[in-house]
Amino acid sequence: MLFATGRAGVAACAAAALVLSGLAAAVFAQRTAKPALHGRHWMAITGKPLAATAGAAIFQKKGNAVDAACAMIAAASTMWDTLGWGGETQALIYNPKTKKVIGVNALGVAPTGASPGFFKAKGMAYPPAYGPLAAVTPGTPGGIMVMLAEFGTMSLKDVLEPAIQMADGYPMEASLAAQIERQKEQIAQWPYSKAVFLPHAGERREAPEAGEVFRQPDLAATLRKLVEAEQAALAAGRPRKDAIMAAYARFYTGDIAEELVRSTQEQGGLITMEDLANWKVHLEEPVMTTYKGIEVYKLTTWVQGPAMLQALNILEHADLKAMGYNSPRYMHALYQAMNMAFADRDFYYGDPYVPPVEPIRGLLSKEYAKARFAGIDWAKNDPDVKPGDPYPYQGETNPFAALLAKWTTKKGLRSVAPAHDIQQPGLRSHDEGFYAGTTSVQAADEEGWVVSVTPSGGWVPAVVAGRTGVGLSQRMQAFVLDEADCPFNVVRPGQRPRSTLTPSLALKDGQPYLAFSVQGGDSQDQNLLQFFLNMVEFGMNVQQACEAPNINSFQMRSSFDEHLSEPGRMLVAESTPPEARRQLEAMGYTLTFSRLTSGPITAIMFDRKHGTMWGGASNYGEDYGIGW
């Protein structure tokens, strides 16, 4: 075969490439760094072992998957697992009683006074990434309480018990301890944050040490106030759901709200009592597309989730399996499809509860995807993929055609960085904007409840809101200030910023098939797309798919900091063969390399043949699962 020439030689080489690609996938699929989890009755997977243990404890007390998920979110928030109590929660829940998927929208809104003019007057091109002006209203407390009230079975007291114990004191893990120490100068700007995170202020090391008991008495008191409100309502004869909502009212309209607003404004923030009182959790219908008969569900345009559905619709027109797992042609197909979907995200996605109305029907149209697929250049990368025009595919005329004509990926261009490894959370780099931020929660039980959550916001370094102990969100940075950037995502009071957070559920034959999510900013739906294809197209099990090497594009506009773009940059695994590297570079890609090529993925797969569950968690980071 090495000496074959002409057309026969080309065909033979192509066949050899496919064989080698298939062999590479098969060899990879034979081993994983971590074992797959197996469970028959329940499964709990999240970003930290202690948080997974909190979910397991709830299951042991006969709670359902929603109860367990709420306990895991609460525990992870208390551990500052790239989120705090003032962050945001978004979830997909499969209800086995109705056989429907429900969306939970617990993302905060821009506060009173947050306008383009306000930030421009301060010389800002975008809202800030950190500090009191980066905060939207807290969403996680409301999200937990509404989920629990509507779909759980237990009391708030029982579900918050692990988090309260942790707020009283838990041994801090090394990664968070190191992150706090690295960012201590920024933390020290905010007095309440300094008091929480720097217990050794003035010493050489001011942060807690790994294994040191980390105490948060103010947060513990706040959580106990929520339980007090619930228990008082129960003692007064109010039903379980109403009692939980009494705790909700104490957080958003009572004494907790008063201290949160007072301290936030004291530190220069904008949140008012009216902002908290007017904010609501929305239970909503998610969006869905089908891929080879599998129904894939995402939250709608207030997050980036529909971009994965758009990419699946585009890639449905290609024979991905024949291309071969992570062959150059497969990588190119993924990169181009993702860039098209994310260009649409960058221009058309925003809060569906305020005008203008996002063209989601056209964006998810199969005919629109077919037209986008036809625009792929199979010879080289297109460094200036623009948003398409989905309006004709829903029978309308694009009201933003003039803005669309001027739009380019090249705004805020960042030169491509040299090859490097992904930095660990806590070092603020452009790559961290892609890979850090967020934890993930997956929970399922034998009754059929399934929950996928990507809570985030309020990560370290966070502004702590006074004596509440609550760390405020930094999600304001996802807004833009100019309509030309995205007419659907311009900051205004009461509007949600378009977030990167993206839980996922898939059904096969009308029954749960997968619950999956991942950490990692703008990379989330890129990596979840590849995780899904690893299973559906290449036959990997859930743990193999979690660990498999991915590619990442940086060509879309970042959702963080300065909203930068790096057209043509592709992150690939260090294991990518030299010939594949040469082919990709010949197609116009600038390659960077890493041992790790995604944020930590967590997932549950439902094995209908055996009536069991398979759990997976990536082979790095601290993501952890427990099954029974």
Torsional class of 421: left (φ above 0), alpha (ψ -120 to 50), beta (otherwise): beta
pLDDT tens-digit series, residues 175-232: 899 999 999 999 999 999 999 999 999 999 999 999 999 999 999 999 999 999 999 9
Q: Please indicate, yes or no, if residue 231 is contained in any of the structural domains.
A: yes
Quick check: 132 and 269 in contact, CB under 8 A?
yes
pLDDT tens-digit series, residues 42-56: 999 998 899 999 999
Query: What pLDDT is recorded for position 600?
Result: 87
Query: What pLDDT is recorded for position 408?
Result: 86
Question: The pTM is what?
Answer: 0.93
Query: What pLDDT is recorded for position 340?
Result: 98
DSSP string across 19-88: HHHHHHHHHHHT--SSPPEEESSEEEEESSHHHHHHHHHHHHTT--HHHHHHHHHHHHHHTTSSB-TBSB
Q: Please indicate, yes or no, if residue 397 is contained in any of the structural domains.
A: yes
Average pLDDT over residues 509-538: 95
DSSP string across 407-456: --TTTTB-PPPPS-PPPPTTS--HHHHHH-S---EEEEETTS-EEEE--B
Is pLDDT above 80 for 15? no
73: domain range? 32-169+215-628
Quick check: 427 and 182 in contact, CB under 8 A?
yes
Query: What pLDDT is recorded for position 11?
Result: 42
Query: What pLDDT is recorded for position 620?
Result: 77
CA distance 333 to 340: 11
Is pLDDT above 80 for 66? yes
Q: Please indicate, yes or no, if residue 232 is contained in any of the structural domains.
A: yes
For strands 590-594 and 569-573, give the pairing. Answer: parallel
Q: Please indicate, yes or no, if residue 202 is contained in any of the structural domains.
A: no
Query: What pLDDT is recorded for position 436?
Result: 47
Q: Please indicate, yes or no, if residue 470 is contained in any of the structural domains.
A: yes
Q: Please indicate, yes or no, if residue 282 is contained in any of the structural domains.
A: yes
Distance between start and end Cα atoms, the chain: 52
Helix axes 366-374, 328-348, angle to 10 degrees: 120
Q: Please indicate, yes or no, if residue 208 is contained in any of the structural domains.
A: no
Q: What is the count of structural domains for the chain?
A: 1
Q: Please indicate, yes or no, if residue 199 is contained in any of the structural domains.
A: no
- Identify the band that residue 20 occupies on the pLDDT scale cut at 50, 70 and 90: very low
pLDDT tens-digit series, residues 551-568: 999 999 999 988 999 999
Return the top range by mean pLDDT from 13-22, 26-35, 164-173: 164-173
Query: What pLDDT is recorded for position 535?
Result: 98
Residues of the chain with pLDDT > 90, as a percent, come to: 86
Measuring CA to CA, which residue among 422, 421, 425 is closest to residue 81? 425
Query: What pLDDT is recorded for position 107?
Result: 98
pLDDT tens-digit series, residues 371-403: 999 999 999 999 999 999 999 999 999 999 999
pLDDT tens-digit series, residues 437-447: 468 999 999 99
